Chains A and B, each alone.
Chain A
Amino acid sequence: MAQKKTKGKIVEKRNEVIESLEKFGGQIYSQLDSGAFPQLSMPSRSTENINYDPELRQFILGEKSVHRSARNIRHVKPFTQLVWAARFSYELTTQRKTSTLRDVYYSAQAYEMTFTDQQESNNILTDLETVLGHSREDLNIFPEERSAVFGDLTIEYTVPGYEGKTLNLTSHPDGVLIGPALTSSEFVTTSADKIIAIEKGGLFTRFIEENVHKKYNALLISTAGQAPRATRQFIRRLHEEMKLPTYIFTDGDPWGMHIAMVIISGSANAAHLRELNTPDARWSGVWASDIVNYKLPTDPLDDVDIKRLYELQKDPRYQDDPLWQREIKTFLKIRRKAEQEAFSRYGLTYIVDEYLPRKLEETKIK
């Protein structure tokens, strides 16, 4: 496999983030210094300003913007919180420390910047993402880690104390957590030619046991349900930097289908951010039509499932590829759903030996 040199991307990105924080602070400082109440504008994240961009194949924010001014009694507190959040992120990024949403909420108290609850501090961080155009992961603020990666990928750490050290992601059989240290690493080399993202941790472990990474020359990623933003960004980077096509396997129900969709086209909640989605990724299964074709053991769809299907049917992200509409219609027709584990009825290795290769072929990215 060709070695792909990508070193420097992470450092470049970090400098970009630090610069944008300094610029933000500088603007506010000079407004104050010239005797004006500081103010700022940012794109509105209200529902009516969230549009689907078919070209980018993700949600983006429209023309509407919101204006915040420290002159306004209702704005001055959130304004201060926002500047504090920038100040805190600046400390994190320059000192190369990481934090979590929960940690941010508690850290604020040390600065006597109390938030009413964590929801309030989360919202302020989303504001900061919108203002800067960088995700909070870029600001070194991460969610609790739960998704993992396994396969032949060598990374080089950039976190303090590990700079220059490398790790091959096959070194630990449980997989490696997709946490701050990993996502801030440079990609050095890989022999894999594809990514297989799996909804469930149990199946991820089975795939490792069955040597799927070797048999199919793949990096395996457990999304652990709905993929965290750090994981989505990680997949995107692998796709972009290492040119790896991505195949997604989920449960055969509307929720599984949507897990795949969010990896492909992003979520409305992150409409203010870019580069979290992987538009070329494929949903490889379990499709509604697989349930029929493979005669899988099923459960009936309940009311919530059906309601969700009708919602997804109208969702702009589901309009591009006829696959989605076809599968939604099939679900609605058969009114059944199946989990990935349903293949066990044909034996433990059936899913790896029979189903997986057929589906990879069927959804192959040319």
Chain B
Amino acid sequence: MAQATFEEISASDFFYRNRDIAGFTNSSRAIFAAIRELVENSLDAAESQKIPPDIYVRLSFEGEASKDTQIYKLRVEDNGCGIQPRFIPSAFGQVLFGSKYKLKQQRGTFGLGGKMAVLYGQITTHQPAYVTSSTGAAKTYAFKLMMDIQRNRPIILDRKVLINKDQWRGTIVEFTLEGDYLRAMPKILEYFKQTAMVNPYANLTFVDPKGRLYKFTRATTTMPDPPKETLPHPYGVDVELLQRLIQLTTTTNMADFLTGHFHRVGAITAQKFLEFSGLSPSKNPMKLSHEEIVRLMQNLKKFKDFLPPDASCLSPLGEALLKAGIMKELTPEYLVVHQRKPSTYAGHPFIVEMGLAYGGGVPKIGRFMLYRFANKIPLLYDEASDVSFRVINSMNWRRYKVANDMPIAIVVHICSTKVPYKTVGKEFIADRAEVRREVANELREVARQLGHFMSRREHVDKERKRLGVFAKYLPRIAEFSAALAGKETLPDIDKLLKSVQKYGAEED
């Protein structure tokens, strides 16, 4: 592995100066981003142990800061895996220190978000952050921390060790920050709702500064399998990665090097590739010249016979959970969910899952509601730039008996070891050909099923109407003709009505 489990990259000063690239653009975005980053850390911490998450978020009003902003205290509690005491100060006080530099699907990827939240709190209120955590062992550790921004080092102001007699496990983070909750509120509430939708096994509780309680209760305790770490796929490597692997490797020939360090490369594939690129299988990788490494990288990308990456490093929600989440939050009349087979772009595996909800609790707003998720994170900004939005809008919906003023919600979940975000802010998925194709195929799949549902319903409606017409008119014909013919009794038309009903039932 090129990247060791925990490593230090000095950068807090850089992010202090460029905080908008991490989403802390202004006072309303900042409060949204802080909540979001901490909630996502908590979800990751619980999921890594397959623990159904219980997350409690409280935002309380502390005082006025300026004309438009206030000081808030943010507290986030989870029941996740907890953090070992020696890592706690750095995990919250040192930017780009983290547990997430690994090739597997995770919500966060930079080990940046949680620290940015704390950093933002410190620069706006100059108050310390309080972190309490336990891994469920005998002791609980409580830290009072600040950050030395210039040197990117945590400053421990206080450290307490408590007896954990309840065997509590989890992490509690509390700090103050400046923000504009009123403006951020709609996005924050939407964030919780959508997070609940895509994490149906989580309990989410949010208490807002006015004391209002928002509770999202889990619909299931079933959880997806946690992702496994994986080796890099040959299509996704660059020269830097090759050089690091060569420095690190214990193998002494190219055949072993390829099979030992790359994803889905076996002896036969390695042999074929070496023939293709004209390298001797017995060559020592340490002896590759710089030019040879560059050519190796190019050939790795050109060679057609590598197997696509498998999806064991991904943790999609799965159809059952996606269904449970959407039913819980949208209560539609009709729902279809579907998961595509894994696919890849540039050596990164990804899976597209989709839900299409119709009617019931889905509001009629004159256009489709679109819920976008990447690695179980709701994407709430820049909808119109997202690949899903474009695919949906370029689709010919009439083929599926769908008009755009119908109450329809489309839920798109893309999970990948590297989600193809267009920007650092993780707001929308780039329009890459491979991703677009998967999204489009998936959309067709669910739309086709909705189309079947619509025609079936149309048929049932038509049938009901048809029977209604006979039931309405035949008795009148009987009545009028009896009066004309001067008969006292009406003719018996039950048999006729039954005959049309029977015909109708067969058609259903």
Q: Residues of A at under 8 Å CB distance from B? A: 21-22, 24-26, 28-30, 32-33, 35-38, 70, 73, 76-77, 79-80, 83-84, 86-87, 90, 113
Give residues 471-489 of B contacting A (CB, 8 Å).
473-474, 476-478, 480-487
> Judging by beta carbons under 8 Å apart, are B491 and A80 in contact?
no
> Judging by beta carbons under 8 Å apart, are A29 and B473 in contact?
no
> Judging by beta carbons under 8 Å apart, are B493 and A87 in contact?
no
The answer for the CA separation of A72 and B364 in the assembled complex, in Å, is: 37
> Judging by beta carbons under 8 Å apart, are B466 and A26 in contact?
no
Give residues 218-243 of B contacting A (CB, 8 Å).
none
> Judging by beta carbons under 8 Å apart, are B484 and A76 in contact?
no
Shortest 8 CB-CB contacts between residues of A and residues of B = A25-B484, A32-B491, A28-B481, A33-B491, A87-B480, A26-B485, A29-B485, A80-B473
Count A-B pairs with CB separation below 8 Å: 78
CB within 8 Å for A80 and B477 given contacts A22-B484, A29-B484, A90-B484:
yes
Contacts of A33 in B (CB 8 A): 491-492
The answer to the question of B470 belonging to the interface, with a C-beta cut-off of 8 Å to chain A, is yes
Cβ-defined partner of B483 (8 Å) among A35, A70, A87: A87
The answer to the question of B495 belonging to the interface, with a C-beta cut-off of 8 Å to chain A, is yes
| Given A32-B478, A35-B492, A76-B473: 9 more A-B contacts, CB < 8 Å | A22-B485, A25-B483, A32-B493, A36-B496, A37-B496, A38-B477, A70-B473, A76-B469, A83-B477
The answer for the CA separation of A335 and B486 in the assembled complex, in Å, is: 61
The answer for the CA separation of A83 and B480 in the assembled complex, in Å, is: 6
A-B contact pairs, 18 of them (CB 8 A): A22-B485, A24-B484, A25-B486, A28-B485, A29-B484, A29-B487, A29-B491, A32-B474, A32-B493, A70-B477, A76-B469, A79-B477, A80-B476, A80-B477, A80-B480, A86-B484, A87-B481, A87-B483
Closest B-chain residue to A80, C-beta based? B473
Cβ-defined partner of B469 (8 Å) among A21, A32, A77, A113: A77
Q: Name which of B476, B486, B493 has the most chain A CB atoms within 10 A of its CB.
A: B476
CB within 8 Å for A38 and B481 given contacts A29-B491, A32-B491, A77-B473:
yes
The answer for the CA separation of A37 and B492 in the assembled complex, in Å, is: 11
Q: A-facing mask of B5-25, CB < 8 A → 1, else 0?
A: 000000000000000000000
Closest chain-B Cβ to A247's Cβ sits at a distance in Å of 43
**Count of B interface residues, CB-CB < 8 Å:** 21
Closest A-chain residue to B484, C-beta based? A25
Closest chain-B Cβ to A85's Cβ sits at a distance in Å of 9
CB within 8 Å for A87 and B484 given contacts A28-B477, A32-B493, A76-B474:
yes
Closest A-chain residue to B467, C-beta based? A73
Closest chain-B Cβ to A121's Cβ sits at a distance in Å of 15
Contacts of B486 in A (CB 8 A): 22, 25
The answer for the CA separation of A268 and B373 in the assembled complex, in Å, is: 71
Closest chain-A Cβ to B416's Cβ sits at a distance in Å of 54
Q: Name which of B470, B482, B485 has the most chain A CB atoms within 10 A of its CB.
A: B485
Contacts of B492 in A (CB 8 A): 32-33, 35
Closest chain-A Cβ to B469's Cβ sits at a distance in Å of 6
The answer for the CA separation of A90 and B480 in the assembled complex, in Å, is: 10
The answer for the CA separation of A29 and B482 in the assembled complex, in Å, is: 6
Closest A-chain residue to B495, C-beta based? A35
Closest chain-B Cβ to A114's Cβ sits at a distance in Å of 11
> Judging by beta carbons under 8 Å apart, are A32 and B496 in contact?
yes
Contacts of A22 in B (CB 8 A): 484-486
The answer for the CA separation of A213 and B58 in the assembled complex, in Å, is: 106
Closest chain-B Cβ to A16's Cβ sits at a distance in Å of 15
